[in-house]
Amino acid sequence: MNLPGWVAEASSFRDPNGYVYYWGGAPFRRINKEHEKHYERLLQSGLYEQLVQQRWLVPHQEVEAHSHPGDGAYKTIAPERIPFISYPYEWCFSGLKDAAMLTLNIQKKALDCGMTLRDASAYNIQFLHGRPILIDTLSLGVLEKDQPWGAYRQFCQQFLAPLLLMSRRDPRLNQLCLTELDGIPLRLARTLLGRHAYLSWSAFVHILLHSRCEEYSSVRFVKTATRDGRFSERAFRGLVDSLESAVDNLTLKQSVSQWSNYSTDSASYSDVSLQHKIQTVRHYLERSQAREVWDLGANTGTFTRMACQAGARVIAFDQDPICVEANYRQCKIERLDVLPLVLNLANPTPAIGWQNRERRSLLQRAGADTVLALALIHHLAISHNVPLPMLADLFAEMGVWLIVEFVPKDDPKVQLLLQNREDIFSHYTLQEFEGTFSRRFTIEDRTSIIGSKRTLFLMRRRSACR
Amino acid sequence: MTHKHAILALEVGALLLLAPAHQAYAYIDPGSGSYLFQMLLASLVGVAFALKRCWLRIKNFLKRNSRKETL
């Protein structure tokens, strides 16, 4: 573990069967001898091939080991690299639902091959080319006869409970997973669901009764069940089927929010201005030759999809879960390589877990070619009182190129923000904006949007400013 | 379901319904409760699954017949 160039993945320490590390920036997964029979079954049963063909499991190649010989290693595999790791507390409802359905579909396929998912962690699912995919090859193990599903509780805590809460209570409630690393405790889910825990069959069984059983199980009961219990394959399939129906039937009740109709309702632009803005952004995207774009304050994704159609892989952030949901659904229909995530830029995702290293913060994952910040600056500078130099710092930390729109104080939208509050923003001027951002970026181009007071800029980060 | 299972189910059922809310056994891994719960749920979900499959087969059969008639 002390070889030069070898970097351990901070979240990969719980499974004794192997771990992930990086070598020259590329990910590798070490498989220990304990996992040999499971890995061989995965390959020989044809399950690996089926899952990879469906793009349900990340493909890998067996490679020469980088670690010391004779330390319990069985094999080393090089899985396909996932360009951006996202977390369940950043996903929208449909993203989490698709990840849950994928987990259950993989479990069904695994059962056909005499295997099972030993983990049902939502963190084992990532998004690649706009679709969820299982990244933990070692989570598939040989099915032990007559044993119940070891990952049932984990599935309920990490998928079913947050989905039920998002569906029945509030679409932001998956963010509880930020403080509850193992998923939402069933008892907490039961309390928050209130009457809904009784009104829905799946919530009643998989959350309410399940949590009560956890609370009241005593040594005697557990021992009796372990000794005499037999969990048939039919029961196993029944359990998975019951969870599948539960997840499949969930929908997001809320479909409109303060921001979801923003682009259509609020006339920030005339048709001519909007067309000019679209043309300019498209031109800037081409100039920056972006392969990975971060669209900040993406709303329902008009410019996200434009960047994607220009050939970039886009991560689209917005703080409104309903907007992110709409963007996710549309991109799914159009099969675009876009990952819409919920994010409040004024309070971005923190690092959490063991030693604060297990799940990384947003900025630790930053590395876009181009950052899009359209119709955003005024919200951060005025609504959140963030000084312009700090905005420049943030964007410089996120990416190399910046396409940013300056919305001046006399713009009707800024006037709305300033209504009923004291104007303490004497520095919020175009001149000050250019001066401040010039310290971090070189201004490559600027365009005043026709028929509007707004200005679009194409900037490039100064090389020493990361 | 064996005799032993029936007694176990009754005991747990009574506990679930009657026990006060804070009577938890802190040193038992909650996963054990989940394990026990699946054992209790086994017959129910197993039978429901079998019935669902039967129903789907009947539905498919009827669909096929009605399609043949319309053809």
Q: Which of B8, B18, B37, B52 to mutate to test the interface with A (most CBs of A within 10 A)?
A: B37
Q: Are residues A32 and A59 in the same domain?
A: yes
pLDDT, residue A272, reads: 87
pLDDT, residue B20, reads: 46
pLDDT, residue A408, reads: 92
pLDDT, residue A262, reads: 62
pLDDT, residue A218, reads: 62
C-beta atoms of B45 and A213 within 8 A: no
Q: With contact defined as beta carbons under 8 Å apart, do A115 and A141 qualify? A: yes
C-alpha to C-alpha distance for A382 and A396, rounded to whole angstroms: 20
Q: Are residues A67 and A92 in the same domain?
A: no
Q: Which of these three, A248, A280, A302, is where a domain ends?
A: A248
Number of domain units in chain A? 3
C-alpha to C-alpha distance for A54 and A47, rounded to whole angstroms: 11
C-beta atoms of B25 and A205 within 8 A: no
pLDDT, residue A264, reads: 55
For the stretch A440-451, pLDDT in tens is: 999 999 999 998
Contacts of B37 in chain A (CB under 8 A): 209-210, 213-214, 217
For the stretch A221-247, pLDDT in tens is: 666 666 667 888 999 999 999 999 999
pLDDT, residue B21, reads: 46
Out of B2, B4, B35, the one facing A222 most closely (by C-beta) is B35
Question: A153 and chain B: CB distance < 8 Å anywhere?
Answer: yes
DSSP A280: H
Q: Are residues A102 and A51 in the same domain?
A: no
Question: A46 and chain B: CB distance < 8 Å anywhere?
Answer: no
Q: Which of these three, A79, A110, A130, is where a domain ends?
A: A79
Q: Is the pLDDT of residue B22 over 50?
A: no
pLDDT, residue A415, reads: 84
Q: Is residue A182 part of a domain?
A: yes
Question: A346 and chain B: CB distance < 8 Å anywhere?
Answer: no
> Can you list the residues of chain A whose pLDDT is less than 70?
1-4, 66-70, 217-228, 256-268, 464-466
pLDDT, residue B67, reads: 74
Q: Are residues A143 and A48 in the same domain?
A: no
pLDDT, residue B53, reads: 86
CATH, residue A298 = 3.40.50.150
Which residue in chain A is spatially nearest to B11 when comparing CA positions?
A: A221
> What is the span of the domain harbouring residue A103?
88-248
Q: Is residue A257 part of a domain?
A: no
Q: Are residues A74 and A112 in the same domain?
A: no
Question: B11 and chain A: CB distance < 8 Å anywhere?
Answer: yes
DSSP-derived 3-state class of residue A27: strand
Question: B54 and chain A: CB distance < 8 Å anywhere?
Answer: no
> Where do we find the tokens 């520095």?
A427
Out of A153, A218, A221, the one facing B34 most closely (by C-beta) is A153
Q: Is residue A254 part of a domain?
A: no
Q: Are residues A71 and A105 in the same domain?
A: no
- List beta partners, residue A6: A23
pLDDT, residue B66, reads: 79
pLDDT, residue A15, reads: 86
> Where do we find the tokens 């190129």?
A401
C-beta atoms of B45 and A152 within 8 A: no
- Asked casually if ipTM beats, i.e. exceeds, 0.90, the reply is no
Q: Is residue A397 part of a domain?
A: yes
Q: Is residue A295 part of a domain?
A: yes
φ/ψ region of A422 (left if φ > 0, alpha if ψ in -120 to 50, else beta) reads: beta
Supply φ then ψ for residue B56, to 5 degrees: -65, -40
Q: Which of these three, A22, A50, A79, is where a domain ends?
A: A79
Distance from CA of B65 to the nearest CA of A (A): 27
Please enumerate, as own/partner, the contacts of A306-311 that have beta carbons within 8 Å and a separation of 24 or more: A306/A278, A306/A281, A306/A282, A307/A370, A307/A372, A308/A336, A308/A337, A308/A338, A309/A336, A310/A282, A310/A285, A310/A286
Q: Is the pLDDT of residue B23 over 60?
A: no
C-beta atoms of B34 and A222 within 8 A: no
Q: Are residues A195 and A105 in the same domain?
A: yes
